Amino acid sequence: MEKPKGTPADGNTTSPAVTAGVLPADTTEDVRRRGEGLARQVAVLPVGSFEQHGPCLPLATDTLVACAIARAIAARYPVHLLPPVTIGCSHEHADWPGTVSISSVTLHAVVRDIAHSLRRSGVEALVLVNGHGGNYVLGNVVQESTAGTGPDMALFPAAEDWDSARERAGVSTSLLTDMHAGEIETSLLLHCHPEMVRGGYETTDFVADDRRHLLTTGMAAYTESGVIGRPSLASAEKGERLLAALTDSFGPYFDLVTRAADPTA
């Protein structure tokens, strides 16, 4: 089987295999070997959503993006790649068919339970790779766990990581304008899952930069198609560069959660 993009071609067993770019194919022995000699094991959990992304991108876009980022991280760093959380907090998209949400309380509990289960098996740090901006509660999960007695956590990517990735990739649209199903998400899917992108995305551009009442009115008050951004500017090449830049940006996160195990750090 052809290796997914971003997976080392040298047979390096420290990088987990994946199935269809979404589900890890590790055995328990793979996980055991990867953890040998590490001061602290780190798990990476992709968190996405199942929500409308306009007429040309799939409902699973955010999950596919989170998995692509997590997969690229796992190809570079010795982390335990977890399967994704595929449904998140997408209440602002409820006006479109197909969108499914869980409450913030449920998402908080799911992530917390995963973290504590990992800790029982010896994994003391968890990085959440978030693919959906509406999963606001993940920031609270990380704050509470790190400040309390829970496992050390981090949330990735931050807005600063996306900004630097945009610059390196040559993305024209600002993060404000590129809110949903725009240049970034379409580029990433064109690179990682081109078979998932429907034709016609080049003609669905729509800009609505003033969205101050979004939490009250939902997305439908700002866009009929569900798109806010400029997907016409997307390309697979930009998607590849975005993914490479985000993988580079993960380095300080990995150092931070692993350094916590060294009392002299």
Domain assignment present for 150: yes
What amino acid is encoded at 197 in this protein? V
Domain assignment present for 244: yes
Domain assignment present for 242: yes
Domain assignment present for 233: yes
Domain assignment present for 264: no
Cα three-residue angle 193-199-201, rounded to 5 degrees: 90
Domain assignment present for 79: yes
pLDDT in tens, 73-103: 999 999 999 999 999 999 999 999 999 999 9
When mean pLDDT is compared over 11-15, 32-36, 235-239, 259-263, the highest value belongs to 235-239
**214 Cβ contact list (under 8 Å, min separation 6):** 92, 221, 222
| Per-residue pLDDT at 5 exceeds 70 | no
Domain assignment present for 16: no
Whole-prediction pTM: 0.90
What amino acid is encoded at 71 in this protein? R
82 within 8 A of 45, measured Cβ to Cβ: yes
Percentage of the residues of the chain whose pLDDT score is greater than 90 = 79
pLDDT band at residue 35 under the 50/70/90 scheme:
confident
Domain assignment present for 21: no
Give the integer Cα–Cα distance in Å for 100 and 91.
Answer: 8
CATH number at residue 132: 3.40.50.10310
What's the domain range around 116? 39-259
First to last CA, the chain: 42
Give the count of domains, the chain: 1
